[in-house]
Amino acid sequence: MDLHLTNILNDLAKDDFHAYLLTQFTNVEYISNYKPTSFAFCLIKENPVIYASGMDMELACRDSNIEVKEYESFEVMIKDMKDEGIKKLAIEPSLAYSTYARFKDSFTIDSKTYIDKQRMIKTPEEIEKITNATEIAQESFLQLDILNNTGSEKEVAFDLVRYMIENGASKESFDTIVTSGAESSLPHAVPLDKKLNQPVLIDWGCIYDGYCSDNTRTMVYTETQQEIWDIVAEAHDKAIKAIKPGMKCCEVDKVAREIISDYGYGDNFIHSTGHSLGLDIHETPGFSTKDETVIEKGMVITVEPGIYLEGEFGVRLEDTVNISRKGNVIGDLPLNID
């Protein structure tokens, strides 16, 4: 049996649960290799099983490493579960309330992060896929020749996605951000039909073999913009340098946040310092003020400090760190694009 499954079964046994219900597509994929395209219920127990939608049966039977049954109704599932002696059921934290409500009168239920705990630690194969995704995304970024690009934000975003797909990605890993001028003070700005203004902030990534990449670069032009860029770059570099297994995630956030605060921009750093990625673009743990998770080898977490000056501009710089080796930034794209 797969090591992740064994680990989760051990977690279940330790807490006296009889089964673990997963429905989030990437959780089902992580466990079974089958990527649902419609609803699916994955039940982890001694003999794990997926109840797949009729329309996904061909795909699920083709790709899944674990048994697949066709979903008929909640009543049938609940009867199967009771027949097997399941009384105490663990659920994933993201389970929809309406699904929980179908099960709550039949089982004793609590939400558990067993699956997230497995997904936190990437295997060498997973890290290789994230690395491939990052390299494709960075190579594609360079093809943009951004300093000489005269397109609109929307055109540049579109070209970047095109290059990533031409270079082997299956798709972008999130809505590509190409923003410039005053709009760059919105951390998740939407590309507009306007010509690139200054500065230019690009936050992009792709999916390769199921795994995500994530980077941000900001190209600055004026002295004021450069001053802010230098502060963000210092926070970026020092946070990456500080990372080591055994530290808490919040301590890395603190390194970046203190540097930016010391320069007087603490209130303008309006998000966490970073997040894990893998099958999803946002995974746990994250470098946030409240995340006490202890950093371990195998984690892959972004570092993305930013300063946002409303009505003026924003600067963010982001790289993805493979914590298997100290300070091992994935990819080799310089921070300073010139």
> At 208, is the secondary structure helix, strand, or coil?
strand
Contact in structure between 298 and 323 (CB atoms under 8 Å): yes
- Output 23 or 225, the one with its CB closest to a second copy: 23
**CB-nearer residue toward a second copy: 172 or 251:** 172
Q: Smaller CB distance to a second copy: residue 20 or 323?
A: 20
Q: In angstroms, what is the minimal distance from the CB of 260 to a second copy?
A: 14
Q: Closest separation between CB of residue 318 and a second copy, Å?
A: 14
Three-class secondary structure of residue 61 per DSSP: helix
Burial of 337 (0-12, 13-18, 19+ CB in 10 A): middle
- The phi, psi pair for 90, rounded to 5°, reads -90, 145
DSSP-derived secondary structure letter, 293: P
Closest by CA to 173, choosing from 144, 209, 214, is: 214
Q: Among residues 95 and 333, whose Cβ is nearest to a second copy?
A: 95
Beta-carbon count within 10 A of 193 CB: 8
* Least Å from the CB of residue 338 to a second copy: 28
Q: Least distance to a second copy from the beta carbon of 58, Å?
A: 5
Interacting residues with a second copy (CB under 8 A): 37-38, 53-59, 91-98, 100-101, 111, 154, 158, 162, 165, 170-171, 175, 185-188, 190, 270-271, 308, 310
CB closer to a second copy, 55 vs 147: 55
Instruction: Please name which of 204, 215, 201 lies closest in space to residue 332, comparing C-alpha atoms.
Output: 215
Instruction: State the minimum distance, in angstroms, from the CB of residue 117 to a second copy.
Output: 15
Q: Which H or E element spans position 222? A: none
- What would the DSSP string read from start to end of 122-168? --HHHHHHHHHHHHHHHHHHHHT-GGG--SBHHHHHHHHHHHHHHTT
Nearer of residues 82 and 171 to a second copy, judged by Cβ:
171
Q: Provide, rounded to whole angstroms, the least separation between the CB of residue 304 and a second copy.
A: 11
